[in-house]
Amino acid sequence: MSAVAPGITSDTRIDAVVAMPSPAELRRELPLPAADAVAIAGTRERIGDIVHGRDGRLLVVVGPCSIHDSVAARDYAERLLGVRERLRDRLEIVMRVYFEKPRTTVGWKGLVNDPRMDGSFAIDEGLRTARGLLIDLARLGVPAGCEFLDAATGQYYADTVSWGAIGARTTESQVHREMASGLSCPVGFKNGTSGDVGIAVDAIVSAGHRHAFLSPTDEGVMALYRTAGNGDAHLILRGGTEPNYDGASVRSAIERQRAAGVERRLIVDCSHANSAKDPSRQAVVIDDVVRQLATGREAIGGVMIESHLVAGRQSPGDPSRLTYGQSVTDGCVGWEETVELLERLAAGAAAAH
């Protein structure tokens, strides 16, 4: 039997293979200072305490729908720092720093995937920009929350992240559940796009167990990872075919958790289907959450808010022509309204205790 010529059955639809730095190489190039690592570990512990009800404050993950301009992101973080310090007795504020965007069909996939927004897919540049920004935020004292979408790219910056999320489209994915079981930070699972909470509860249970899977090491060598399980996995209500932030939906979600043996506070996403993708309606969701807190609804452990320096959204394009500080993905509330919403949440948290 004659040997099969190379290329006949392999990589027939691959245009190019581009060498990338390993996670370890990027970490050596952009190291996380020890003092900042200690601070990140402390924030992770506090978030875990909130999720498990040992800390009665609220977790608030607030920031742009996605990061496309690291300068504007640093500007936002510097403003957020003062609010975080002022409201820290009632809120544990974490900046939303999302670098990857899931797409139903096609579209801009985020700063890591396409940092120049021109289809050049300079992922090595995107990874350096992302890690550099996260290190700057850690040095500033602003904890970061990221969605872990790609199973490989997170290894380049997971050490700098205080809180992680698995999105509605990937909550049912076995790969993401296994990945979450080994992440060092607390991880929130969103309910499915249909509104199915059971998918996320199953994910929480799965992520809490031990798993074994193949993945590259920090040096880029394929290895078998055995995880210990993530006991800080928790539920995020983001709506579905209809909103699910109201009291009845929260009670139903808690009952669904308890039936699966999960006793944890949940997070309400004020955006996405809960706001019908209208950023101004995030205030409606927050007002409802505050009312629930006033009635002793201890099941709610926090919220997510999509916010940027400038309200609204714009389409991705030439970075030099974009409005500074405005989202290029989902619409956001502006900075002034963000401060008002955070103060409203802090007052609600204070009244609840």
pLDDT in tens, 74-114: 999 999 999 999 999 999 999 999 999 887 777 899 999 99
Helix pair 335-351, 282-294: axis angle to 10 deg: 10
CB-neighbour burial class of residue 21 (10 A; exposed 0-12, middle 13-18, buried 19+): middle
Task: Report the largest interatomic distance among the alpha carbons of the chain, rounded to a whole angstrom.
Answer: 80
User: What's the pLDDT tens digit per position in 154-192?
Assistant: 999 999 999 999 999 999 999 999 999 999 999 999 999
With a cut of 90, say whether residue 5 has pLDDT above it. no
Average of per-residue pLDDT across 321-325 = 97
Please indicate, yes or no, if residue 6 is contained in any of the structural domains: no
With a cut of 70, say whether residue 22 has pLDDT above it. yes
Cα–Cα–Cα angle for 23, 40, 192, rounded to 5 degrees: 75
Q: Quick one: which H or E segment has residue 206?
A: helix 197-207
Please indicate, yes or no, if residue 221 is contained in any of the structural domains: yes
Percent of the chain whose pLDDT exceeds 70: 97
Please indicate, yes or no, if residue 202 is contained in any of the structural domains: yes
Q: In this predicted structure, what is the pLDDT of residue 151?
A: 86
Q: In this predicted structure, what is the pLDDT of residue 328?
A: 97
Q: Could you give the CA distance from residue 129 to residue 142 in angstroms, rounded to a whole number? A: 17
Q: In this predicted structure, what is the pLDDT of residue 298?
A: 87
Q: In this predicted structure, what is the pLDDT of residue 2?
A: 54
Q: Retrieve residue 34's tokens.
A: 């020890």
Q: In this predicted structure, what is the pLDDT of residue 352?
A: 79
User: What's the pLDDT tens digit per position in 199-226?
Assistant: 999 999 999 999 999 999 999 999 999 9
Please indicate, yes or no, if residue 167 is contained in any of the structural domains: yes
With a cut of 90, say whether residue 227 has pLDDT above it. yes
CB distance 207 to 191 below 8 Å: no
Average of per-residue pLDDT across 27-53 = 98
With a cut of 60, say whether residue 3 has pLDDT above it. no
The phi and psi torsions of 266 (rounded to 5 degrees) equal -115, 165
Query: How many structural domains is the chain composed of?
Result: 1
Average model confidence (pLDDT) for the chain? 95
Q: In this predicted structure, what is the pLDDT of residue 296?
A: 81
Please indicate, yes or no, if residue 4 is contained in any of the structural domains: no
With a cut of 80, say whether residue 7 has pLDDT above it. no
Please indicate, yes or no, if residue 304 is contained in any of the structural domains: yes
Q: In this predicted structure, what is the pLDDT of residue 255?
A: 97
Q: Which domain holds residue 331?
A: 23-351
Please indicate, yes or no, if residue 12 is contained in any of the structural domains: no
Q: In this predicted structure, what is the pLDDT of residue 200?
A: 98
CATH number, domain containing residue 240: 3.20.20.70
User: What's the pLDDT tens digit per position in 230-268?
Assistant: 999 999 999 999 999 999 999 999 999 999 999 999 999
Please indicate, yes or no, if residue 283 is contained in any of the structural domains: yes
With a cut of 70, say whether residue 290 has pLDDT above it. yes
